[in-house]
Amino acid sequence: MSEHTEYQTIDHHGHPAFVLVPWEEWKRIKPLLEAERARAGGIPQDVVEAHVLRNEPLIKAWREHFAITQEELASRLGVSQAAVAKYERPDARLRATTIKKIALALGMGAEQLRA
C-alpha cells in the first residue's frame, strides 16, 4: 500500500511558487517532466547529435539526455545492466514490446525511440 505524502508549498507574494517533493519521488517524476518537455519541443539537439553525428542508438542518446545510468534504467525495467547494454548496441533488433517498456521507463513515447 502506498503512503500518502503531504507536499509543502512555498508562497511568494501570496501565490504558490514552489513545492517541496520527497527525493525518491523527485527521482521518479523528473524523467517524466523532461520527457514531456522533449515531446513539447521536439527532439533535443543533444539527442539528434548523438544519434546522427555519433551514430549512437536512440535508446542510449535519450538515456544520456535524461542523465540516467544503464544501471538505473535496468532497475526501472527489472532487467540487468548487461541487458540494457545489449539494447543500446547499434545492431540490436528489439521487439516492439521491449521498445514500449523502455519508452515507459524513460517517460516518453515509443515512437521517439524508433529511427
**pLDDT computed for residue 44 by the predictor:** 84
Cell 529511427, residue?
A: 115
Average pLDDT over residues 81-106: 94
- Give pLDDT tens digits for 53-82: 999 999 999 999 999 999 999 999 999 999
Domain 28-113 in CATH 3.40.50.300: no
- Give pLDDT tens digits for 20-61: 888 888 888 887 777 676 666 578 888 989 998 999 999 999
**pLDDT computed for residue 1 by the predictor:** 44
Full DSSP string of 10-62? EEETTEEEEEE--HHHHHHHHHHHHHHHHHHH-S-HHHHIIIIIS---HHHHH
